[in-house]
């Protein structure tokens, strides 16, 4: 049997669970990074608007 047709070696349930936990953690981390990418522009716009309001108040 060559490597392409040989069935994969069996992994223990503990090993599979650890791999699944690592995968879940990785997906969670990527999700948090995506959330930050989308929320950061909104925060920057809000900060710019607040700064503009403050400058207008100082001018008046």
DSSP state string for 9-53 = PP--HHHHHHHHHHHHHHHHHHHHHHHHHHHHHHHHHHHHHHHHH
Q: Is there a domain that residue 2 lies in?
A: no
Q: With 0.85 as the threshold, say if the pTM is over it.
A: no
What tokens does 46 get? 């809000």
Which of 58, 1, 52, 12 shows the shortest CA–CA distance to 20?
Answer: 12
Tell me how many domains the chain contains. Answer: 1
The answer to whether residue 21 sits within a structural domain is yes
Q: Flag whether 6 is in a domain.
A: no
Q: Over 70: is that where the pLDDT of 2 sits?
A: no
Give a yes or no: residue 1 inside a domain: no
Examine residue 4 and state whether it is found in any structural domain, yes or no.
no
pLDDT band, very low/low/confident/very high, at 44 (cuts 50, 70, 90):
confident
Q: Residue 19's pLDDT is what?
A: 94
Please tell me the predicted confidence (pLDDT) of residue 4: 59
In percent, how much of the chain has pLDDT > 70? Answer: 85
Q: How far apart are CA 40 and CA 28, in angstroms?
A: 18
Would you say residue 25 lies in a domain?
yes
Residue 3 lies in a domain: no
Q: What is the pLDDT of residue 16?
A: 92
Domain that holds residue 29: 12-60
């Amino acid at each position: 049997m060559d490597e392409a047709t040989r069935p994969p070696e069996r992994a223990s349930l503990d090993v599979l669970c650890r791999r699944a936990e690592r995968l879940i953690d990785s997906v969670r981390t990527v999700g948090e990074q995506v959330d930050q990418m989308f929320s950061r522009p909104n925060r920057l716009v809000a900060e710019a608007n607040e700064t503009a309001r403050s400058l207008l108040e100082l001018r008046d």
